[in-house]
Amino acid sequence: MSIVVAVPKETAPLERRVALVPESVTRLRKASVEVRVESGAGSAAFFPDSAYAGAGAQVVPEGSSVLEGAQVVLKVAPPAPAEAARLPRGSILVSFMNPSRNLDSVRALARAQVSTFALELLPRITRAQGMDALSSQATVAGYRATLLGAEHCPKFFPMLTTAAGTIRPSRVLVLGAGVAGLMAIATAKRLGAMVEAYDVRRAAGEQVRSLGAKFLELSINAEGQGGYARELTPEEKAQEQKMVSEAVAQADVIITTANVPGRKAPRLVSKEMVASLRPGAVIVDLAAESGGNCELTRAGETVTVNGVTILGPLNLPSQLPTHASQMYSKNLESFLALLVTKEGTLVTQFSDEILAASLLTQGGEVRHGPTRELLGGAP
């Protein structure tokens, strides 16, 4: 008997991605996995029902339960608590979960005896790269951030020599050169801007320079656990503020992507720095969802202060839904390979390092320590 995988239509506002694209369905069918897709699940990402049917999926009418009999459920956005409670008892869910902000859903999943794998918890080891959905979606977000910056900037990005005079290139400053920041840098370079970037991890310098951008150096190296940044000391923060404020004042577009896992986003651009910007300057704050890197950012809104436009976009990957879904779907295919045995059955022990690290709930319990603590110790 083959494994039944269900792909419900995403219900979160603004969510246009789908967990599996038809191309993945074709490959899963070859591995004897039965795929059920709720009608319309892929339509916002431009994957019609007919493409899923053509790939061998069973398309289930919208509203009737695509989840019935499913052993594995694949989603993009964390399920709302009511949605979580409807998941088949004992099934497996693979999804983004953002556990600290979705505690009610985590509780509902534990109660429904669902084994939940949260993609944010995936260890960033080489073997997990193919399933690293944080990276694939950050790539999309970084690209979109630069395009948003260019769209709102009243200037050309490239240098132009024309009969109407010479145009100087725009200056783009990227704060935080992780996955999203590096993609933002690469996109701004392709558009012809002069790009500078800064990150607290010194290792990012080499990557920034290899993209042809200038790396702003400080004596700080705040590389913490697992390749992520650690929080800065007060003295380091003061050094950082001084350098950042000088760079900010020169920029036409500032793209901020700085994050420290599990903490509020570091505040890099103060309201005084915004006041020092040229009118027409644009800030795209990718950390809007985790509190913002700019003091004046409002999540999900665009604000204008003294001629400076500050964008706090939410869910940027959803603005490029076709490729974001294609990349996410490939990540899920790789993850599923860990859950399926050679005999085509589901693994019964989640002992693999990657499975063990990303397991959020199982057997009625919350397995992830920090989330369990936030829930007060019990599901």
| Residue 228 designated active-site | yes
* Pair of tokens at residue 349: 């022990």
Which are the contacts of 114, defined by CB distance < 8 A and separation ≥ 6? 84, 87, 88, 89, 90, 91, 92, 93, 361
Nearer of residues 114 and 175 to ligand NAD, judged by Cβ: 175
Q: Taking the complex as a whole, how short is the minimal distance between the CB of residue 122 and ligand NAD, in angstroms?
A: 9
Closest approach, Cβ 352 to ligand NAD, in A, equals 16
Does residue 200 belong to the site contacting ligand NAD (CB under 6 A)? yes
Interaction with ligand NAD in 67-86: which residues (CB under 6 A)? none
Q: Which of 177, 216, 247, 296 binds ligand NAD (CB under 6 A)?
A: 177
One residue of 16, 152, 171, 201 binding ligand NAD per CB under 6 A: 201
- Report whether 354 contacts 99 (CB < 8 A): no
129 is catalytic: yes
- Residue 124 annotated in active site: yes
Identify which range of 11-19, 173-181, 272-280, 297-305 contacts ligand NAD by CB under 6 A.
173-181
Which of helix, strand or coil describes residue 188? Answer: helix
Q: Cα separation of 244 and 204, whole Å?
A: 16
351 carries an active-site annotation: no
Contact 95, 134 (CB under 8 A): no
CB of 247 to ligand NAD, least distance (A): 11
Nearer to ligand NAD, 140 or 258 (CB): 258
User: Which of 132, 199, 252, 285 is labelled catalytic?
Assistant: 132
Burial bucket for residue 68 (CB in 10 Å: 0-12, 13-18, 19+): exposed
Rounded distance between C-alpha atoms, residue 21 and residue 165, angstroms: 48
39 belongs to the catalytic site:
no
Where is 194: in which H helix or E strand? strand 194-198
Query: What does 249-291 look like in DSSP terms, one character per residue?
Result: HH-SEEEE----TTSPPP--B-HHHHHHSPTT-EEEETTGGGT
Nearer to ligand NAD, 161 or 225 (CB): 225
Instruction: Report the residue number, 29 or 214, with the smaller CB distance to ligand NAD.
Output: 214
Strands 72-74 and 160-162: unpaired
Which residue number places its CB atom closest to ligand NAD? 178
Of 339-368, binders to ligand NAD (CB under 6 A) are: none
Enzyme catalytic residues:
124, 129, 132, 135, 228
Report the interface residues with ligand NAD, using CB under 6 A: 124, 128-129, 132, 134-135, 138, 175-181, 198-201, 204, 227-229, 232, 257-261, 266, 268
